[in-house]
Structure 1
Amino acid sequence: MKKIIISTIAVSALLFTATSCNTDFDTDVKDIPVTKGEADFSKYVALGNSLTSGFRDNALYIDGQNESYPSMIAMQMRLAGGGGFKQPLMNDNLGGIPSAGIANKKILAVVAGALAPVDAPGTGTTTLANIYSAGPYQNMGVPGAKVAHLIAPKYGDPAGLNPLAPTANPYFVRFASSSTTSVVADALAQNPTFVSLWIGNNDVLGYATSGGDGSNPITPVDGPIGVGFNSTYSALAGMLFPSGTTRKGVVANIPDVTSIPFFTRVPYNPVPPDRFNTALSGSPSNQNANIDALNAQVFGPLKQILTGLGQGSRIQLLSKTEGNPVVLKDESLTNLAAQITGALVAAGVPVQQAGLMGQLYGQARHSTSQDLIPLTTSTVLGTTPSSPFAVAPFDKYGTTYPLEDKHVLRGKFNNVNGEVEEVLAATVAFNATIKSVADSKNLAFVDMNAKMKELNSKSGIVWDGVRYTATFVTGGAFSLDGVHLTGRGYGIVANEFIKSINMKYRSTLPQVDPNKYSGVKFP
């Protein structure tokens, strides 16, 4: 198993690096009297998905909810006439919902001498019991929600939690006003004076995190309301901001999900040469001998056969000195199983082994720098798959046994676009719609895509001498799931919303101090 090793020395150095620039948030209005401008903050309601709810560390839990970006914004709005802001808090800081099969949050623990994310011990006490009687709630972020889910009736119906064909969401089941309502209906029932909307990430993120295996497809750009992104987002915005309304609001676009730590932590060539060392502890390493044997018996013959078929770039020889790419199955490639099998048999390889190699490598290739390896794949690299074809030496995921589609987000190969390009194209299309709707409704607009790209740059973002980047854990902004933010990261998001609100509505809401919120906790 690949260890995710995190140095505490590196963490301290990165999180508290002083720079010549005091802060990158240069439009703060902290020295100006707070005013609401042209907006009315007396009833603020936030709609969105897990990012809005305060989800982090792979779970929704109290401390994370209390550091959600809408709660930070609401706190600043109170300085300009804003009202109360309630959130549907979970029962504890574990976040798990046992009855719904939802696991506890991730924490850092020492595993085999290194820090690694693991599930927090204990049993979550949150149930699916409805808590609307303590509401209504102004934070209406629902983890897992796509655009169409916000307008779908019965999205909070317990009867719709059928795991085989779910039509409801366990998080919304907890705080929906009724079994027939929708998220947007419950929001409008509060008659909000100001609304924030950050939705659409899951319309592409689910496809990306599942490796584009078809289990969670990208939402089509076009199609009727409830199917196509364009029509559904426009309909949702029309419900929240109908013609003639005095309600004000802010919307945000979708970040490029391929640049988050979930896809950048594990490199495309994560297999070190010592992965091929099978010697007993205390014995001299036999990695070089094993690499030579695999090159001579497996990858060398495969490359020679594929080169003869004009597909030599599919397979590379293993390196003894550099990290090696993973072997993956690429369904977009022509299946050359029969040709591989026939060529091996002709070369004297036993029929059974030749057939096995043809079956395994007919659509296999080594990863390239265009491919993205999900963070979760690190837990299966080098393990033995449950498959009748997993026999020595073809029994190690990613090294000799090809990773299935769900374990890799495939990029462009041999000038043919892959799943990465599908994700990027959808993001561009969705963001064009969001910006168009913001303009047509005269709403404040947050370019969160640009901000996350800035966060993902080498220079990152600085606040009061502390630098934040998108580096996994040590960058300070992203939590242990590699997708959602820390409290500090949500502080950065809150400030982007506040800046856009101030610019659009001439208000002077002060920004928050991200450094005052929590980051990744170390044991």
Structure 2
Amino acid sequence: MKRFQTFFTYLAIGLLLSCQYEFPEPAQLSPDSGQADFTKMVTIGSSITAGVMDAALYDRSQQNSFAVILANQMKEAGGGDFNVPDINAPVGDLILTPTGGNLGRLILTVNLNTGSILPSPIVPGNAITPYTGDKLSINNFGISGLALAGALLPASGNLQEPTHPLFNPYYARFASAPGTSTPIGDAAAAMADGGTFFVFWLGKNDVLTYALTGGAIPELLTSEQDFSQRYQVALGTMLQANPEAKGAIGNIPNINALPYFNTVPWNALPLSDGLANLANGAYNDYNSALSNLVAAGMISESERELRNINFTTGQNGFVIEDKTLTDLSGLGLPPIRQSNAEDKVALTTGQILGQTPGNDPTLIYGVTVPIGDEYVLLPSEQNAMTEKIAAFNQIIATAVSANTDRLVLIDAEGFMDDIGKGLISSNNVPLTNSISPPNGVFSTDGVHPNARGSAALANYFITAINGKWNSTIPMTNPNAFMGNDLPR
């Protein structure tokens, strides 16, 4: 059977466009720190703060994180040096997969057989290596995969326990005392050592990790009680490190809106008339059994309609696992159905959809082999995330309100919403919620911003900080930063 050709082909025209713009810089006020002090800024956060792009942390991504860009702009308003724990990896190590492995960052590649354009890793990548610089002079404590629990516990950096569920190699490589220190402790120590301003953006991975596994592991969603307790301890530690310092606090964006879940459409399976008929033949007995179960009162007619597998000529939903369906395993019937418009499909689905495992032409992902739960966010899983994000963001807002003289809330959720509505622009050029050059602000992994997106995000921070403390940190020009590389 002809392999599935993904929709990414639509990117081809856009990818031929330039990834840079030429526009004059807007006039700005003379830089001034206002009622804040940017002499030494310290940042604590997860992968976006670290600079992960294209599913990896590598040299270019690290130096174009929003934190680095923000620090560079602050220098004009009295800010000092901003040191990062250099990764020394030209292509990085792929981190958005359960197994990881020595695979480099994602790049857009053209399949010469199908003409499709897909993110694929550079092989080989660079292994994660220890940081050999001065650990006591680090300013950026952005750590990929860091959730609140990992920020507070020594296990995250314990080299003697690399199998511990909280162990984080991206922290262990520069932990001040592996196995004893904590990320929040190291960041607080940096603040206590002359820190005057901090950026605190933790909490995203208390939801994002669940999302990236397709909601397959409910335990990855942090409870509201645990989130509140951990958040108060972590933020309180930073506030106490220097009682005079001010800070910017990021909340959690709408993860359901990330391009990672909105690039591959639910009906991404194109079939000819002949192939549709052939595929339908494989499900005749399954569909008949469903009808019999309705007659027996074991499932409802609405569930039968949802579970019924029927392919037609053209674009189709593909067969997926759905753990929310009635358990009919005792009757030999799997919990499967076709994807529909309410589902959100992971970007990585495009790499397997229509492929044949073991080169067996009768086994086709999405047709005769269901796409696993880890590749699709079901409506119930989306709702669970939406509820968690709302609850967590209320906790964050309350924490900021309790320290309103020292803190400003950075509404990352609003930033994502504005990007989606086309309200964020660079010199009158709208930036888009996509991975498509040149206007897309997300890197090829669909989760983290690219350099251009990081610059736009830095400007969002600058606007809030300037408005809070009457500072005049100058804006940067996102168009001066790279979007995604052209396909190879």
TM-score by length of 1: 0.82
1:230 matched to 2:228? yes
1:55 matched to 2:17? no
State the Cα distance separating 1:520 from its structure 2 match. Answer: 0.5
1:318 matched to 2:310? yes
CA radius of gyration, larger in: 1
Q: Structure 2: state its 5+ residue gaps.
A: none
Corresponding residue SS for 1:109: strand
CA distance in 2, matches of 1:94, 1:434: 35
CA distance in 2, matches of 1:326, 1:118: 22
Answer whether contact 1:46 1:141 (CA < 8 A) is retained.
Answer: yes
Residue 36 to residue 294, structure 1, CA distance change in 2 (3 Å): same
CA distance in 1, matches of 2:371, 2:109: 27
2:161 corresponds in structure 1 to 160
Answer whether contact 1:306 1:314 (CA < 8 A) is retained.
Answer: no
Corresponding residue SS for 1:116: strand
1:398 matched to 2:360? no
CA RMSD of aligned residues (A): 2.9
1:304 corresponds in structure 2 to 291
Per mean C-alpha deviation after superposition, the further-off stretch among 6-15 and 146-155 is 6-15
1:359 matched to 2:365? no
Residue 70 to residue 258, structure 1, CA distance change in 2 (3 Å): same
Letter in 1 for 2:291: Q
State the Cα distance separating 1:290 from its structure 2 match. Answer: 1.7
Equivalent residue in structure 2 for 1:434, among 396, 415, 419: 396
State the Cα distance separating 1:484 from its structure 2 match. Answer: 0.7
Letter in 2 for 1:105: R
Residue 376 to residue 7, structure 1, CA distance change in 2 (3 Å): closer
Corresponding residue SS for 1:485: coil
2:237 corresponds in structure 1 to 239
Per mean C-alpha deviation after superposition, the further-off stretch among 207-216 and 39-48 is 207-216
CA distance in 2, matches of 1:367, 1:478: 25
CA distance in 2, matches of 1:80, 1:450: 26
Q: Structure 1: state its 5+ residue gaps.
A: 223-227, 275-284, 342-357, 412-417
* Aligned residue runs from structure 1 range 69-84, under 5 A: 69-84=66-81
State the Cα distance separating 1:199 from its structure 2 match. Answer: 1.4
Equivalent residue in structure 1 for 2:248, among 247, 250, 266: 250
Equivalent residue in structure 2 for 1:473, among 436, 439, 453: 436
1:39 matched to 2:7? no
1:109 matched to 2:109? yes
Q: Deviations over 1:247-288 (max 9, x none)?
A: 1000011111111111001112221123xxxxxxxxxx8325
2:172 corresponds in structure 1 to 173
4+ residue stretches of structure 1 with deviation over 4 A? 12-18, 97-100, 390-393
State the Cα distance separating 1:473 from its structure 2 match. Answer: 2.4
Letter in 1 for 2:258: I
2:319 corresponds in structure 1 to 327
State the Cα distance separating 1:85 from its structure 2 match. Answer: 0.4
* Aligned residue runs from structure 1 range 363-402, under 5 A: 363-384=335-356, 395-402=363-370
Answer whether contact 1:302 1:315 (CA < 8 A) is retained.
Answer: no
State the Cα distance separating 1:433 from its structure 2 match. Answer: 0.7
State the Cα distance separating 1:9 from its structure 2 match. Answer: 2.1
Residue 324 to residue 288, structure 1, CA distance change in 2 (3 Å): closer
CA distance in 2, matches of 1:446, 1:464: 22
1:199 matched to 2:173? no
CA distance in 2, matches of 1:134, 1:404: 42
1:463 matched to 2:426? yes
Residue 77 to residue 30, structure 1, CA distance change in 2 (3 Å): farther
1:118 corresponds in structure 2 to 120
Corresponding residue SS for 2:240: coil
Answer whether contact 2:135 2:175 (CA < 8 A) is retained.
Answer: no
1:448 matched to 2:407? no
Letter in 1 for 2:167: A
TM-score by length of 2: 0.88
CA distance in 1, matches of 2:100, 2:214: 24
Letter in 2 for 1:328: I
CA distance in 2, matches of 1:72, 1:421: 34
CA distance in 1, matches of 2:242, 2:428: 45
CA distance in 2, matches of 1:423, 1:100: 24
Per mean C-alpha deviation after superposition, the further-off stretch among 432-441 and 327-336 is 327-336
1:64 matched to 2:26? no
State the Cα distance separating 1:89 from its structure 2 match. Answer: 1.3
CA distance in 1, matches of 2:63, 2:361: 51
CA distance in 2, matches of 1:198, 1:132: 24
State the Cα distance separating 1:17 from its structure 2 match. Answer: 9.6
Corresponding residue SS for 1:140: strand
Letter in 2 for 1:404: G
1:290 corresponds in structure 2 to 278
CA distance in 1, matches of 2:276, 2:156: 56
State the Cα distance separating 1:422 from its structure 2 match. Answer: 0.5
Residue 441 to residue 160, structure 1, CA distance change in 2 (3 Å): farther
Answer whether contact 1:460 1:470 (CA < 8 A) is retained.
Answer: no
Residue 289 to residue 333, structure 1, CA distance change in 2 (3 Å): closer
Residue 90 to residue 15, structure 1, CA distance change in 2 (3 Å): closer
